[in-house]
């Protein structure tokens, strides 16, 4: 038994390391793309100076939610690493392993998506070998497969949740309709936490019931699991986002400096609302939000992108990646002025 758990803990350490390595690459890609987007000007109103790329709605939309998710994952992975290293007696390795599986899959998929977005956001410059985004993509692409294929890991996460479902959630009554359309309410942690919790619990209950029905009708349990795999992966994804939001919010609580705390809270709002927006079809289907509220969420994500935009370069500078390591001519910290492509 002891040997088995020692072996298992090496896998957990590997998954945390791969997730962190992936996130570092996402930070590099975002640093390059956001600095470039701040300096590169393209088009503009007649007889006026050209506009920096990062002032365009689409450019903000493409990069800033990725930046917010990168920050959220940074704090979630720091917390997981510390708990893994501490090997506390009051926390089972199972719980750490489940979280490592979920965060490894979530973080490495996030890296793949972010680097592609960063590459495109730099146009032709992003495709040049010396600007390194292609290399970062090539180096991290396999992270979604090794140390456990992401889809298979997410299926494991969902199976773990289902064993808890049997114990805890069988009789849960989910009445979660959130009807208010006050944008301040949307920005609050209470709304965001409740939405993520509701989604994870609702999916767990639904997929649990779907499995039970199949098994009750005589289906082999293996076939029943295969039949609902898409639902299981959706559940694990929802659980990952619930955990990441929790860890990010907890980390912000520990920050004393008011302006820093405020900047991080804005990123937390953008992380949460951009992912709720990405899954609005589910929230509407589950009647958790009304159509007017869905529209208000979309508008608030735009507002949050506008609020993060002036701080975007400072936020990537805070990753503190030395120019010598970033090694991308379009992404150096000191470089000033317009790019001509």
Ligand X SMILES: Cc1cc2nc3c(=O)[nH]c(=O)nc-3n(C[C@H](O)[C@H](O)[C@H](O)COP(=O)(O)OP(=O)(O)OC[C@H]3O[C@@H](n4cnc5c(N)ncnc54)[C@H](O)[C@@H]3O)c2cc1C
Interacting residues with ligand X between 203 and 232 (CB under 6 A): 229
CB of 234 to ligand X, least distance (A): 14
Tell me if 43 sits within 8 A of 129, measured CB to CB.
no
Q: Which of 82, 85, 152, 177 binds ligand X (CB under 6 A)?
A: 152
Instruction: For residue 41, give the H/E element and its range.
Output: strand 41-42
Determine the Cα–Cα distance for residues 15 and 132; give it in Å rounded to an integer: 25
User: Is 120 one of the annotated active-site residues of the chain?
Assistant: no
95 binds ligand X (CB under 6 A): no
* Residue 12 or 32 with smaller CB distance to ligand X: 12
Tell me if 177 sits within 8 A of 202, measured CB to CB.
no
Q: Which of 147, 201, 239, 241 is catalytic?
A: 147
Tell me if 55 sits within 8 A of 38, measured CB to CB.
no
Residues 112-151 as b/e (b if ≥16 CB within 10 A, e otherwise) read bebbebbbebbbebbebeebbbebbbeebeebbeebbebb
151 binds ligand X (CB under 6 A): yes
Residue 54 CB: number of other CB atoms within 10 A? 23
CB of 215 to ligand X, least distance (A): 18
Tell me if 158 sits within 8 A of 151, measured CB to CB.
no
Binding segment for ligand X among 41-49, 86-94, 101-109, 149-157 (CB under 6 A)? Answer: 149-157
17 binds ligand X (CB under 6 A): no
Tell me if 112 sits within 8 A of 320, measured CB to CB.
no
Residue nearest to ligand X according to CB distances in the complex: 151
# residues near ligand X by CB under 6 A: 8
Interacting residues with ligand X between 107 and 146 (CB under 6 A): 142, 145-146
Q: Which of 29, 52, 148, 331 binds ligand X (CB under 6 A)?
A: 148
Helix, strand, coil percent values for the chain (each to nearest 5): 80, 0, 20
* Residue 139 or 197 with smaller CB distance to ligand X: 139
CB of 143 to ligand X, least distance (A): 10
Residue numbers at the binding site for ligand X (CB under 6 A): 142, 145-146, 148-149, 151-152, 229
Residues acting as catalytic residues: 147
């Amino acid at each position: 038994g002891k040997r088995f758990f020692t072996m298992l803990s090496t896998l957990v350490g590997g998954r945390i390391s791969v997730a962190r390595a992936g996130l570092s690459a996402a930070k590099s890609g975002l640093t390059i793309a956001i600095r470039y987007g701040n300096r590169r000007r393209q088009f503009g109103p007649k007889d006026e100076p050209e506009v920096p790329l990062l002032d365009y709605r689409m450019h903000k939309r493409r990069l800033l939610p990725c930046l917010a998710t990168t920050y959220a994952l940074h704090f979630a992975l720091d917390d997981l690493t510390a708990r893994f290293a501490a090997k506390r007696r009051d926390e089972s390795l199972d719980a750490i392993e489940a979280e490592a599986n979920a965060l490894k899959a979530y973080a490495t998929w996030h890296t793949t998506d972010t680097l592609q977005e960063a590459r495109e956001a730099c146009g032709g410059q992003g495709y040049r070998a010396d600007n390194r985004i292609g290399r970062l993509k090539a180096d991290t692409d396999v992270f979604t497969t090794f140390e456990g294929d992401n889809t298979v890991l997410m299926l494991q996460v969902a199976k773990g949740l289902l064993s808890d479902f049997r114990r805890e959630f069988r009789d849960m009554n989910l009445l979660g309709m959130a009807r208010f359309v006050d944008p301040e309410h949307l920005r609050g942690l209470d709304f965001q936490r409740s939405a993520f919790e509701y989604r994870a619990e609702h999916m767990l209950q639904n997929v649990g019931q779907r499995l039970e029905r199949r098994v009750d009708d005589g289906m082999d349990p293996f076939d029943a699991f295969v039949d609902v795999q898409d639902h299981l992966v959706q559940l694990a994804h929802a659980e990952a986002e619930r955990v990441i939001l929790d860890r990010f919010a907890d980390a912000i609580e520990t920050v004393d400096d008011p302006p820093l705390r405020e900047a991080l809270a804005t990123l937390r709002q953008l992380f949460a609302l951009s992912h709720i927006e990405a899954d609005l079809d589910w929230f509407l289907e589950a009647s958790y939000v009304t159509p007017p509220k869905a529209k208000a969420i979309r508008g608030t994500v735009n507002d949050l992108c506008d609020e993060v935009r002036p701080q975007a370069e400072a936020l990537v500078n805070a990753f503190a990646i030395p120019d010598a390591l970033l090694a991308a001519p379009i992404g150096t910290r000191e470089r000033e002025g317009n790019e001509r492509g």
